Chains A and B, each alone.
Chain A
Amino acid sequence: MIRTALALARAGGLVVVLVAVLGGMALVTATGVIVDSGFRSQPPLRLAGADVVVSARQSIPVEEDLPVALPERAGVPGSLVGAVRAVPGVASAIGDLSFPAAVVNRTNTPSGPTTLGSATPGTPTAATPGRPAADAAGQDGPSPGTAGPDEPSPGTAGHGWASLGLSGRLTAGRPPRAPDEVALRGGRLGARVLVVAGGRPAAYRVTGLVDAPGLYFSDATAAALAGRTSGARAGTVDLVAARAAAGVTPGDLARALRQRLGDRYEIATGRYRADAESPGAAAGRGLLLALPGSIGGISLLIVGFVVGGGLALSINRQRRDLALLRAAGATPRQVRRVVAVQGLAAAVPALVPGAALGYLLAARFGELLVEIGALRADQPLVYGPLPAVAAALALLGGVRVASWAASLRVSRMPVVPGVAGLGEPSRARTNAGLLLILACLVLSSAPLLVRTEAAAIGPATAALLAVIGLALAGPWLVRRAAGALARSRWVARLPGPGWLAVHNCHGHALRTAGEIAALGMVVTLGLSVTLTQTTISEARSRQTSAAMRGLVTITAPGLGGIPHGLLDEVRRLTPAAGMVTTTVVTGPLEFGDNPRLMARPALGLGPDAEGLIDLDVVDGGLGGLTGAAVALDERAGRVGERLEVIMGDGARVEARVVATYRRGLGFGPIVVSRDLAAAHTTTGLDGAILARPAALAPLLARWPGAEVTEVTEGPQAGAASAQTLVNLAVLAVLLAYVLVAVANRLVATTTARRGELDGLRRLGATPRQLRRMLRWEAALIAAGASGSGIVLAAVPLGMLGLGFLWRPVPAGPLWLVPASVLVVGLVVWLAVELPARRIL
């Protein structure tokens, strides 16, 4: 059977399958690496000397779903250090603290132990109000792309001297003892440096040099700088790190600790220590899970589409042979097996190179994620074997299913010689396709009813459905359209080549429709995904810029947050409001939210925002944003209600709703009070100051590290724009894959038409006429693809524009429309012209 299958196989069709599987393998593997990293990617371990790390729980379990990760540090009582020390098997234990700390020089540029960042005024960095979600740990820092891989985020660079015992060694000098002493890496002993630590700028003397990243203060100083000597966090530490006694394995020690301390704490060993050390990084990598999820459906669909198309082409070429096989006594099942074996034979050689390509693609992708700030530079992607294995299984399964589906009709062909006709599309297929296209129109009206970001899923899904519908109903549509064209007077008067081309498209509707649907998909998806994103971000930025009109933003990305005192000084010059960006976890607040618990970035504003930031308040006022208070989107609740909110560090708060507002698209459905937000972030510092423009330069000259930008963004913008960029990058790769696959298919089809072309030559067609005929066909295919693609994208995008921008046109760049037509035309022309020149 296998021998028969391989003997029957025609190289052309199977090469198309091979290429499709190769590309599919690369895409799925790369997506898999991202997902895998979403679970496992970690920054380097700081407390490498610790065997076990005890910390607060930094996640909320959710029934039947992934736990919600908490990015902000939740402390543990200082008494826990003693409790851990008392457990048998513990050799030593320390309470570890991390707090914002950065060395600045006098030239208004933060410069850490080495250069911390090259942020210049006007550059939107990670510390603008809308920070990328990976950074939402409150670890405001220079954009991860600009920090060295070994540099800690300035939001958590400060530690007590006790921690050094587990992270590194003193290489010169002596430990810091006085409150104005510091030890660091790469400085000069005895030098005086200006350090902003815990939001307080002060001069320190370097007394010791160490070989670990970060700044080390005496333990008492560290506790004071980290805000653990008074207030809500008095006496707490971030985590307890323990060393095991000789002969005790970390596993044993962890078991002993769990027994003694119970389930209240996270007890981490091995690589999980890094998660306990940086909850922000652990929560931030969750974004990696969300990214491919948003476009994974499209990519699987596309891979299936392309692989299925290649198989269909291969089968169509063998129709006659397969019919003969049936005539020779093969059962339909055997015929299907022949087809399946051929498909797998073409797929298997593509698996390994495809996987290799996938890992390369993932690496490029990782670079992109770091560049846009969605991934920390010190948190590399994880390259395990699992994604490749999963991708191989998925693709082999896909090929198996696709070959079964594609061979169903051929295998059931009656055993009558010479019936191998041109293939009529089945009625059911056409109806299903037309129904899907109709359903897409209904779905795309979602933005008219709901104006939240989730509503954009409507048009995006609609475009997907429309593409599937086009693939199904395509042959029938092409037959109708080309038939009408063929009967028209205009075509009847065309010279031979054009006339023939129209008739060929009509007669070979199945083939033509396959090409048109695949290329139409490129146009539809390209336009709808891109313009949906631009439309929503346009709508969002319209809201935020209206809300923050005439304000400037002051940030201090290199310092881990706005230093204490700066806001007061700015206020003396001009109206100003402090702003915290944090993460809050709530029940569902808007359409499309997770029905159980939903973590999202949120802005923390105080009463000083009243009259400065215009959220288009419907009821109540921002003046009430003190203590446990929140403001909500008008559709999410009413003033006076109470709302349970889980803060970024896991603290549960019963908050009063003090205001409702309309600008939910720009600011998200919830804004929390600044007091509340600051009390539950890792740094405890403001992320930014919003102020009316004034002569701020002299002031800022006295505050090194602080800078002014004109950029005004809501909390959603950063995460959303990272996601947008990633989506667009993935989409670009996907569409390029489709284009290559379709081009490959066109080349194979054109080459396979040699017999037909020879026949035409004998009937008196000159090579020039045949080339002209092929060009006409290419033009018809390109026109059909562009036309149907644009129409299918236009309806959802029109609705989206109406819903979000009050006009039936999406936000630009509208040059994408002619550009996509041009690309499709160019690909078709090349894929037809080059083989035509070779065979004619």
Chain B
Amino acid sequence: MTPVVTLNRVTKRYGDLVALDDVTLAFPRGRFVAVMGPSGSGKSTLLQCAAALDRPTSGTVVMGGTDVGGLSETSRTELRRKHAGFVFQSYNLLPALSVQDNITLPLRLAGVRPDLEWLGELVHRVGLRERLHHKPAELSGGQQQRAAIVRALAARPDVVFADEPTGALDLHSAGQVLDLLRELVDELGQTVVMVTHDPVAATRAHDTLVMADGKVIDVLAAPTSEELAVRLTRLAGEPVT
């Protein structure tokens, strides 16, 4: 099966700082991949480059069969619109729009007619059917994030990028959101790439990439949270007891 996104020798520099250092990677379809690492390890930069939000300094990123490097801002936006969905730590729901309008917003921007059956199923699955006409401010944090996940999936993208999706949530809501993401992959065949610093969150993923100093230093398949915690603590340079 072709990977949804491939990175080939990607380097990203911000001035003197090397945020991504010669990374080559492919995200396979139908997997839930977690990206972990200490602060400053380059995980957010990896996500931004992989999601075509940013352009790499060197190397190539291929999304949906297209090399992102040579594209204009507008073309990249259109490419993202087609192939990628996004879930943010701060939900990024527009306060002026109802939940339903928020969910269909990317489709409207793309000028695509919403697939009502698909949306209905998603909304049902995340349990927001009764909340569609509310404003985001009237929803709990967990509900808002679930609405954001429906929005990310509304256009049936090849891949959903999630940046710390549970960072602002309490333990219970975070658990619900992670379950939901896993379900989407297992039952609906979606692909999810999630950046997180929470080892518990990462254990819900199929695979976990561990990053340090702009490089992917480890790929763990279904690690336990203890294994991950040890791995990360060692990276931070602290002795393990």
Contacts and interface: CB of A to CB of B under 8 A. Distances in A.
B94 A765 contact: no
A508 B110 contact: no
Contacts of A769: 109
Given A762-B53, A764-B81, A507 B73 contact: no
B108 interface: yes
A764 to B, nearest CB: 4
A763 B105 contact: yes
17 contacts: A421-B137, A422-B96, A422-B137, A500-B108, A507-B97, A759-B88, A759-B94, A762-B86, A762-B88, A762-B92, A763-B92, A763-B105, A764-B77, A764-B110, A766-B74, A766-B78, A769-B109
Contacts of A767: 73-74, 77
A764 B106 contact: yes
A626 B150 CA distance: 95
A327 to B, nearest CB: 17
Contacts of B110: 496, 764
Nearest to B108: A496
Contacts of B198: none
Contacts of B74: 766-768
B86 A763 contact: yes
Interface string B68-95: 0000011001101100001010001011
A506 B96 CA distance: 7
A499 B96 CA distance: 12
B94 A766 contact: no
B109 A503 contact: no
Contacts of B97: 503, 507
Given A495-B111, A507-B97, A756-B94, A764 B80 contact: yes
B151 interface: yes
Contacts of B80: 764
Interface residues of A, number: 24
A504 interface: yes
Given A421-B137, A422-B137, A503-B101, A765 B96 contact: no
Contact of A763 (B96, B106, B137): B106
A496 B109 contact: yes
A761 interface: yes
B155 to A, nearest CB: 8
Secondary structure type dominating chain B contacts: helix
Contacts of B135: 507
B77 A765 contact: yes
A558 to B, nearest CB: 69
Nearest to A761: B77
Contacts of A762: 53, 86, 88, 92
Of the candidates A500, A504, A768, the one having the most CB atoms from chain B within 10 angstroms of its own CB is: A500
A504 B105 CA distance: 13
Shortest 9 CB-CB contacts between residues of A and residues of B: A507-B96, A764-B81, A496-B108, A496-B109, A764-B106, A766-B77, A759-B92, A766-B74, A765-B109
A794 to B, nearest CB: 31
A421 B151 CA distance: 22
Nearest to B96: A507
Nearest to A773: B109
Interface string B143-187: 000000001000000000000000000000000000000000000
Interface residues of B, number: 24
Contacts of A499: 108
B109 A504 contact: no
B96 A496 contact: no
Contacts of A421: 95, 137
B26 to A, nearest CB: 23
Of the candidates A506, A508, A762, the one having the most CB atoms from chain B within 10 angstroms of its own CB is: A762
Contact of B95 (A422, A496, A500): A422
Contacts of A500: 105, 108
B137 A766 contact: no
Interface string A756-787: 10011111111111000000000000000000
A421 B137 CA distance: 7
Nearest to A499: B108
A507 B92 contact: no
Contacts of A508: 96
Interface in A727-771: 756, 759-769
Contacts of A763: 86, 92, 105-106, 109, 151
Interface in A486-517: 495-496, 499-500, 503-504, 506-508
Nearest to B163: A762
Contact of A507 (B86, B88, B95, B105): B95
A767 B76 CA distance: 11
A507 B109 contact: no
A503 B111 contact: no
Of the candidates B53, B86, B94, the one having the most CB atoms from chain A within 10 angstroms of its own CB is: B94
A825 B80 CA distance: 35
B152 to A, nearest CB: 9
A766 B108 CA distance: 12
B160 to A, nearest CB: 13
B57 to A, nearest CB: 21
Nearest to B84: A764
Of the candidates B53, B80, B108, the one having the most CB atoms from chain A within 10 angstroms of its own CB is: B108
Contacts of B95: 421-422, 507
Nearest to B161: A762
Nearest to A507: B96
Contacts of A756: 94
A769 B81 CA distance: 13
Given A762-B86, A764-B77, A766-B78, 17 more contacts: A421-B137, A496-B105, A500-B108, A503-B96, A507-B135, A508-B96, A759-B88, A759-B92, A760-B94, A760-B109, A761-B77, A762-B53, A762-B92, A763-B92, A764-B109, A767-B73, A767-B77
A506 to B, nearest CB: 7
A496 B95 CA distance: 16
Contacts of B96: 422, 503-504, 506-508
A764 B88 CA distance: 14
A765 B74 CA distance: 9
Nearest to A494: B108
A508 B96 CA distance: 7
A214 B73 CA distance: 79
Interface in B174-228: none
A713 to B, nearest CB: 57
Interface string B40-55: 0000000000000100
Nearest to A420: B137
Contacts of B88: 759, 762
Of the candidates B77, B86, B109, the one having the most CB atoms from chain A within 10 angstroms of its own CB is: B109
A654 B186 CA distance: 107
A346 B53 CA distance: 39
A764 B80 CA distance: 7
A504 B53 CA distance: 25
A765 B111 CA distance: 11
Nearest to B51: A762
Nearest to B88: A762
Nearest to B74: A766
A507 B105 CA distance: 15
A622 B15 CA distance: 94
A750 to B, nearest CB: 16
Contacts of A768: 74
Nearest to A421: B137
B99 to A, nearest CB: 13
Contacts of B101: 503
Nearest to B137: A421
A768 B77 CA distance: 11
Nearest to A770: B109
Contacts of A507: 94-97, 135
B235 to A, nearest CB: 29
Nearest to A765: B109
Nearest to A482: B96
Contacts of B106: 763-764
A421 to B, nearest CB: 5
A53 B162 CA distance: 91
Contact of B111 (A422, A496, A760, A761): A496
